[in-house]
Amino acid sequence: MADNSVTPELQKDIYYHMALARALDDRMWILNRQGRAPVVYSSNGHEAAQVGSAFALNRGEDWIVPYYRDLALVLAYGMTPREIMLHLLGKADDPNSGGRQMPAHWGLKRRHILTTGSVVATQDIHAAGLALASKILKDGRVSVAYFGEGSTSQGEFHEALNFAAVHKLPVIFFNENNGYAISVPARKQMAVMDVAARASGYGMPGVIVDGNDPLKVYEVTRQARERALAGEGPTLIEAKTYRFVPHSSDDDDRAYRSREEVAEWKKRDPLTTFEKYVLENQILSADEHAAMQKKIKETVNDATDFAEKAALPDPSTLELHVYH
Amino acid sequence: MAVMTYLEAIRETLRQELRRDNRIIIYGEDVGVRGGVFRVTEGLQAEFGEERVIDSPLAEAAIIGTAIGAAVNGLRPVPEIQFADFIFPAINQIVQEAARIRYRSNGDFGVPLVIRAPFGGGVHGALYHSQSVEAFFAHVPGLKVVIPATPYDAKGLLASAIQDEDPVLYFEHKAAYRSLKGEVPDERYLIPIGKADLKREGKDLSIITYGLMVSYAQRAAETLDKEGISVEILDLRTIRPLDVEAILDTAKKTGRVLVVHEDNLTGGIGGEVSALIAEHALFYLDAPIMRLAGPDVPAMPYSPPLEHAFMVTPDKIAEAARKLAKF
Amino acid sequence: MAETVLMPQLGESVTEGTLGQWLKKVGDSVDKYESLLEVTTDKVNAEVPSPVAGTISKILVEEGQTVPVGTPICEIAVEGGESATVEDEAATGTEESSPAQPQPTQEAASAPQDEAHRGRYSPAVRRLAKETGVDPLTVQGTGAGGRVTRNDILEASQHKASTAPATSPKPAAPTLAPSAPPAVAAAGAPAAVDADDTFIPVTNVRRVIAERMVRSKQTVPHAWLMVEADVTGLVALREKLKTEFKTREGVNLTYVPFMLRAIVEALRAVPMMNAQWNGDTIVMKKHINIGMAAATDRGLIVPVVRDADQKNIVGLAKASQDLVQRSRTGRLTMDDLSGGTFTLDNTGAVGTVLTYPIINAPEVGIVTMESIVKRPVVVNDMIAVRSMVNVCLSFDHRVVDGAEAGLFVRTIKQHLESITPQTSIY
């Protein structure tokens, strides 16, 4: 499968976070279908790309600027399951926004996860700006913008790539290409086959990677980070992947994707594929695996219970934090 | 203490601030080697280097968006938008990102950012080099909008803006750059954001205005003084947040209020100021609140008679004030 | 002829320029568009081209000098008879604020409708009126169209404070000055103006009348009643005395003094009719001063017969005739027009038999004396021809009710009917 230079411990950790993300994600859908969570945006299917790239970074020190698909990413980056559930349910102690933003609008200063809005591609420029500061302050940080392929139609995506390349900023543009922007397929989004092809127009490398293989993603991200730290400028990574669920809990993907297509991709589900890999290669024993499953179940239950019991924001806080 | 133009006051403040705090960076289109199209940043790159005075690509959303990222990661960016008219490609970054980041992160993140932009007309700039865009931003909670009226204020307000932990839009009137001169102390000083300045005391009526229009109002007031009309002038200095107390004080004092701005009438600051007075000082009003503003045409035309017809001038202010005084 | 070259504006926001170097000297010939000099501003350095062809005749600004945009910098003698003065194109638009366009004249702007501002009170005036106790009706407005301004009230309150008696027992002394120009809105619905209509400016007297009428009708709840009186005896008495009276007293003997006398009797019987509404209190007037509405060329005025209760018919006749005389010649004083406590309107003079008069606020009542007409009436169950007069009363229903008002008019009626040809007028 992949580069075996990644230590077994790291591979276990990657697997654990992918599995935990999937379990949390599944729980969120249940809460939604029970009417307890108004809306869910899923990372289901993107776990390898997100967790693999996160582990290649200096987690909590390098900046990540995620988008709404990135549950597994922020989990791998240090946001706790409880925090994620608080966010889902709009509770007062949600560290992302205190219940102000829709679910999946991540942001946690403690872990250097920059807060994000809903307009796609705006975050790409923020990543370039974070990197601009890192370059000037020489703080040794790399910034990574995460975004879907649909957002690469936005001007700000192109402005960000151009700015970063001109100033050789320590930034990585990490595209999670799942083939659809809600219902619009990539072929209606761009007249090139690959997002990575954009890179050459801006004078940076464009790398395509199997987004369902966490170890391959880990490796290309590690290399891009080294380039960035060496002052060689930005890299555009395109992780080809697939989402197995609709765009959100309000969407029904049967309108635009055939079941056969989904089933075909499902054969390459990154979680089951990697699970098979770690078990077959005895990176994870059956006992360890069972213990891990148990732990994940407990963690998800704990996070759900904790968040459901947590207080909602007081309306008197409505006007807090308009200014410093 | 030196006598400086408005432009020199801004430049010297930038220089002083860049020396004071090495987290401050300046960037935008042509601000480096060329020193900006108005020469506001002239000589700064030579003194502080290409890393702190940066010629950016010609992309406003990228300028503001990167400034947001840089601010979050420890710098104090002071980007320039070459003309306020060009700020619109960056509106999403300013309104939906910079202004909201503190709020949407529940105070976790802040964006200490100052966006400088020359604005205003009467300089043959036509539709895309003359606009007053302040009202768009004054509508947005989370932003602060500062428009200095004198070289002295230009310095004190810019220093305060740079020190602020939140995004500040700092608009500089092009016609003020070289036409306004005044004494500016050498040492650093701060003028608080959100505080208006009573520029002139009077008893018959109050003119509430900001920016270049303050000096136009002063000229009008001198004319009116000879006619026996005593005019009070309140310079708002900051149009968001507004100094409500100062607005109500002067309205209550004279009972007659003329709000003046070059920005279009409808939806301009004058409407907000008028509403505040109507809400909180109705029983002190001795005349309807009057507004004098740029006409509701999409932007300032080029040809001199058209431009003049658009511009608010000292004569037009005096004429409006006369009418109000007679009421 | 000479063409003056001005310092051009080289760039937005530039207000002055420094002369670098003259590329031509006096006496040199220059082609149109040929460079004349170099100018340095803090935005650009540029060569300034000549606006015309000709010969440099004067250099007005030396090298190194900095001058404002628009300053003449040199003159070029233009050959031939070109009369069109070509201005430096760069300089034509440099004035920051060229003289204002002639504004429409103020007179035109303050046409007749401006008058409507009288009596329209701003919130500040209303508040101050309440706080200071100054009635804006009593204040002369100095604002547009006679509007009472905030300052007017403040000044009036200062004046009031300095003139008020120090030991006034009541909080707010009632204002009794109907002579002071009041200022009630006489606006109402806007007039519908057609193209061929014309305008007549509202005179001051007309405006005062309008305002007072509006004020009275809007603030005083008018009630109205009428009696008819048999004045056959009065008519006979007058017929008997009028020639002799004119000879002896020098004035005509009209019915007015008899009516005034009847009113005095009625006011004595019903003192509440000689009063004024004052909010928390009713002011009982000590004097009986009866105003007589009189039509003049300039409009309706109401001169006052003072102390009517202390005059006999001769005295009332003389006083009333004197006032009528002087009102026609415009020689009334402010005193003549102020201090009334009740009003008589001799509407009979215009031939009416029934009117509904508007109270001269703050008085409580106004009576009319209608035309005296001979009518068949039933007397002792027989039809007789008698001289009859209708007397109408409008009264302030806040102060008196129908019972007092009825007594009042019955007293008038009884008094008039009691007059016989033998009644003494002295």
Domain harbouring B250, CATH code: 3.40.50.920
The answer to whether the beta carbons of residues B312 and B270 sit under 8 Å apart is no
Among the ranges given (A1-10, A271-280, B220-229), the one the predictor scored with the smallest mean pLDDT: A1-10
pLDDT greater at residue C62 or residue A144? A144
Tell whether B276 lies on the interface with A, counting CB pairs under 8 A. no
User: Exactly one of A256, A257, A268, A289 is catalytic; which is it?
Assistant: A256
Position A178 pLDDT exceeds 50 = yes
Instruction: Give pLDDT, residue C187.
Output: 57
Which of B62, B172, B188, B197 is CA-nearest to residue B120?
B172
Q: Which residues of chain B have pLDDT under 70?
A: none
Q: CA of B325, closest CA in chain C: separation in Å?
A: 8
**Phi and psi (nearest 5°) for B55?**
-80, 115
Residues B165 and B208 in one domain: no
Structure tokens, A316:
């008197």
Q: Are strands A143-148 and A171-177 parallel, antiparallel or unpaired?
A: parallel
Residues of C with CB under 8 A from a CB of B: 12-16, 42-43, 92-93, 96-100, 103, 117, 122-127, 143-144, 147, 149-151
Structure tokens, A270:
């990154």
Beta bridge partners of C275: C284
Query: Would you call A243 a catalytic residue per the annotation?
Result: yes
Which of C265, C237, C243, C276 is CA-nearest to residue C372?
C237
Verify whether the Cβ–Cβ distance C127 to B283 is below 8 Å. yes
Structure tokens, A208:
């395509």
- Averaged pLDDT score across all residues of chain A: 95
Instruction: Give pLDDT, residue A90.
Output: 94
Instruction: Give pLDDT, residue C117.
Output: 64
- For tokens 């009309």, name the residue: B229
Residues C153 and C269 in one domain: no
Residues C236 and C357 in one domain: yes
Residue ending a domain, choose from B184, B207, B228: B184
Within chain C, how many helices (H) and strands (E) appear?
Answer: 8, 18
Highest mean pLDDT among A35-39, A134-138, C350-354: A134-138
- What percent of chain C is helix, strand and coil (3-state, nearest 5)? 30, 25, 45
Instruction: Give pLDDT, residue C188.
Output: 63
Domain interval for residue B161: 2-184
Percent of chain A with pLDDT over 70: 98
Residue ending a domain, choose from B150, B184, B218: B184
The CA distances from residue C269 to B285, C138, C277, in Å, are 49, 32, 19
Verify whether the Cβ–Cβ distance B313 to C97 is below 8 Å. yes
The answer to whether the beta carbons of residues B92 and B135 sit under 8 Å apart is no
Structure tokens, C423:
């009644």
Tell whether C21 is covered by a domain: yes
Q: In B, which residues are within 8 Å of C100 by CB distance?
A: 313, 315-316, 319
- For the residues A187-197, what does the mean pLDDT come to? 94
Between CA B46 and CA B50 the distance in angstroms is: 8
Instruction: State the count of interchain CB pairs (< 8 A) between A and B.
Output: 154
Residues B88 and B32 in one domain: yes
Tell whether B46 is covered by a domain: yes
Between CA C298 and CA C323 the distance in angstroms is: 15
Q: CA of A162, closest CA in chain B: separation in Å?
A: 8
Q: Which chains pack against C, by 3+ Cβ pairs within 8 A?
A: B
Q: Is there contact between C and A if contact means ≥3 C-beta pairs under 8 Å?
A: no
Between CA A177 and CA A198 the distance in angstroms is: 13
Q: In C, which residues are within 8 Å of B38 by CB distance?
A: 12-13, 43
Q: Is there contact between B and C if contact means ≥3 C-beta pairs under 8 Å?
A: yes
CATH number at residue C40: 2.40.50.100
User: Exactly one of B129, B139, B173, B261 is catalytic; which is it?
Assistant: B129
Helices (H), C177-282: 204-219, 232-249, 256-269
Verify whether the Cβ–Cβ distance C100 to B313 is below 8 Å. yes
All domains of chain A in start order, with CATH: 8-310 (3.40.50.970)
Verify whether the Cβ–Cβ distance C123 to B284 is below 8 Å. yes
Q: In A, which residues are within 8 Å of B97 by CB distance?
A: 117, 122, 126
Q: Which residues of chain C have pLDDT under 70?
A: 43, 80-118, 161-188, 204, 298
Instruction: Give pLDDT, residue C401.
Output: 93
Query: What letter represents residue A83's amino acid?
Result: E
Q: In B, which residues are within 8 Å of A101 by CB distance?
A: 104
User: Exactly one of C335, C381, C397, C415 is catalytic; which is it?
Assistant: C397
Residues B144 and B257 in one domain: no
Residues B121 and B211 in one domain: no
What order do you get walking across the sheet with A171-177 strand by strand?
A63-65, A143-148, A171-177, A235-240, A206-210
Residues B159 and B246 in one domain: no
Instruction: State the count of interchain CB pairs (< 8 A) between B and C.
Output: 75
**Phi and psi (nearest 5°) for C56?**
-65, 120
CATH number at residue B74: 3.40.50.970
Which of C13, C92, C100 is opposite residue B316, by nearest beta carbon?
A: C100
Which of B103, B261, B266, B58 is CA-nearest to residue B173?
B261
Verify whether the Cβ–Cβ distance C124 to B311 is below 8 Å. no
Domain interval for residue C328: 221-418
Structure tokens, C225:
């009643």
Residue ending a domain, choose from C68, C83, C98: C83
Which of B142, B140, B122, B144 is CA-nearest to residue B132?
B122
Q: Are strands A143-148 and A63-65 parallel, antiparallel or unpaired?
A: parallel
Between CA C230 and CA C375 the distance in angstroms is: 10
Between CA B15 and CA B25 the distance in angstroms is: 11
CATH number at residue C258: 3.30.559.10
Q: Residue A120 carries which DSSP code? A: T
Answer whether 0.80 is exceeded by the pTM. no
Q: Residue A97 carries which DSSP code? A: T
Tell whether B191 is covered by a domain: no
- For the residues A128-133, what does the mean pLDDT come to? 98
Residues C411 and C346 in one domain: yes
Tell whether C102 is covered by a domain: no
Tell whether C270 is covered by a domain: yes
Verify whether the Cβ–Cβ distance B97 to A126 is below 8 Å. yes
Q: In B, which residues are within 8 Å of A161 by CB distance?
A: none
Residues B158 and B29 in one domain: yes
Number of domains in chain C: 3
Residues B237 and B155 in one domain: no
Number of domains in chain B: 2
Task: Write the DSSP string, B14-58.
Answer: HHHHHHH-TTEEEEETT-STT--TTSTTTTHHHHH-TTTEEE--S
Instruction: Give pLDDT, residue A40.
Output: 94
Structure tokens, B255:
């009972």
Q: CA of C294, closest CA in chain B: separation in Å?
A: 35
The three-state secondary structure class of C422 is: coil
Instruction: Give pLDDT, residue C370.
Output: 95
In degrees, rounded to 5, the angle at the alpha carbon of residue C196 between the alpha carbons of residues C195 and C198 is 105
Which of C16, C92, C123 is opposite residue B282, by nearest beta carbon?
A: C123
Q: Under 8 Å CB-to-CB from C332, ≥6 apart: which residues? A: C301, C303, C323, C326
Q: Residue C133 carries which DSSP code? A: -
Residues C214 and C227 in one domain: no
**Phi and psi (nearest 5°) for A137?**
-80, -10
Instruction: Give pLDDT, residue C92.
Output: 42
Burial class (CB in 10 A: 0-12, 13-18, 19+), B321: buried
Task: Write the DSSP string, C262-330.
Answer: HHHHHHHH-GGGSEEEETTEEEEPSS--EEEEEEETTEEE--EETTGGG--HHHHHHHHHHHHHHHHTT
* Beta strand ranges found along B155-281 (DSSP E): 168-173, 181-184, 197-200, 205-209, 231-235, 238-240, 257-264
The answer to whether the beta carbons of residues B14 and B40 sit under 8 Å apart is yes
Between CA B104 and CA A97 the distance in angstroms is: 5
Burial string for B258-295 (b: 16+ CB within 10 Å, else e) reads bbbbbbbeeebbbbbbbebbeeebebbbbbebbbbbbe
